[in-house]
Structure 1
Amino acid sequence: MRVWSLHPDQLDRAGLIACWRETLLAQAVLAERTKGYRNHPQLERFRAQADPLASVGAYLAGLAAEADRRGYRFDRTRIIDATDAVERITVTDGQLDLEWEHLGAKLAARSPEDAVRWSQSRPRPHPLFRVVPGEVESWERARL
């Protein structure tokens, strides 16, 4: 499961669609609608929020907004709690940098055109996240 901290407009088509699907799975876990992935480390940041379902809903809404911008159709009715009045979640600049490099490697392998675009920009966070100084997050398992 990869729930990117990066802004959805920085993901290629495959990354955006996969993130949507994987975040819907994360939402199902948080809503106790599935038994799988209950202990997935990326869920820690949502569980730490006052309203985890609202936070993951706000994350999904950000993905859906990017999908709309690209002309894709993500089914917003699948978002359990679409409340946008949630507190922003912090993410460290170290985490954002790690994900940026991880995305660059993926793009180089599957989407050379997007890899060029990637190489000409800098990482920005998903609108739900607020960047703070720090190392890679404790819940991150991928190491480059």
Structure 2
Amino acid sequence: MRIWSVDPSLLDAKGLVACWRETLLAQKVLQGLTKGYKNHPQLDRFKASPDPLATICAYLHGLADEADRRGYSFNRSLIVTEQSERVAPIAVTQGQVDYELEFLKQKVEARDPQWYLDRFASSPARRLHPLFYEVAGGIEPWEKLPPAK
């Protein structure tokens, strides 16, 4: 499961669709409608918010807004709260953003070279999903890092 902190506009088509599907699964987890993924580390920051379900729904609305901009048809009726519902923004560390951007660049360069050139090759893109704001710090403790080589 990858729920990106970066702005959805940076995700290529496959990345945006995958994030949508994975976040819909996360919504079901927070609703208590699944047996698995209950302790997935990517959910920690949502669980720590005052209203985890409304917060994950706000994240989903951000993804759907980007899909709308691209002319995609994401089914907003799958989101269980209204977009107008206010939620507290979530802090994300600078190190986490750096890690995610580098990870995303690697994935996109291999999967969609033109998207990579358009979004990352000429200038570093550093935008966050509207739900997040950046604070000082390293990679988040919930991040699953690959083994050191």
Q: Same fold (TM over 0.5)?
A: yes
Q: How does 1:1-144 map to 2 (within 5 A)?
A: 1-82=1-82, 83-116=84-117, 117-119=119-121, 120-143=123-146
1:4 deviates by: 0.3
CA deviation vs aligned residue, 1:34-70 (integer Å, no higher than 9, x gap): 1111110000000001100000000000000000000
Q: State the one-letter code of the partner of 1:47.
A: K
C-alpha distance in 2 between matches for 1:138 and 1:125: 19
* Identity value in percent: 54
Extract unaligned runs of 5+ from structure 1. Answer: none
2:91 aligns to what SS in structure 1?
strand
C-alpha distance in 2 between matches for 1:142 and 1:127: 25
How many aligned residue pairs are there?
144
C-alpha distance in 2 between matches for 1:122 and 1:69: 18
1:28 aligns to what SS in structure 2?
helix
C-alpha distance in 2 between matches for 1:92 and 1:23: 20
Q: State the one-letter code of the partner of 2:134.
A: V
2:134 aligns to what SS in structure 1?
strand
1:84 deviates by: 3.3
Q: State the one-letter code of the partner of 1:95.
A: Q
Q: State the one-letter code of the partner of 1:74.
A: F
C-alpha distance in 1 between matches for 2:54 and 2:4: 17
CA deviation vs aligned residue, 1:124-144 (integer Å, no higher than 9, x gap): 110000100110001000348
1:97 aligns to what SS in structure 2?
helix
C-alpha distance in 2 between matches for 1:114 and 1:21: 21
1:140 aligns to what SS in structure 2?
coil
Extract unaligned runs of 5+ from structure 2. Answer: none
Give the TM-score normalised by structure 1.
0.96
- Flag as ranges the 4+ runs of structure 1 deviating above 3 A: none
Give the TM-score normalised by structure 2.
0.93
Q: State the one-letter code of the partner of 2:48.
A: A
Q: What do you get for the CA RMSD once the two structures are aligned?
A: 1.2
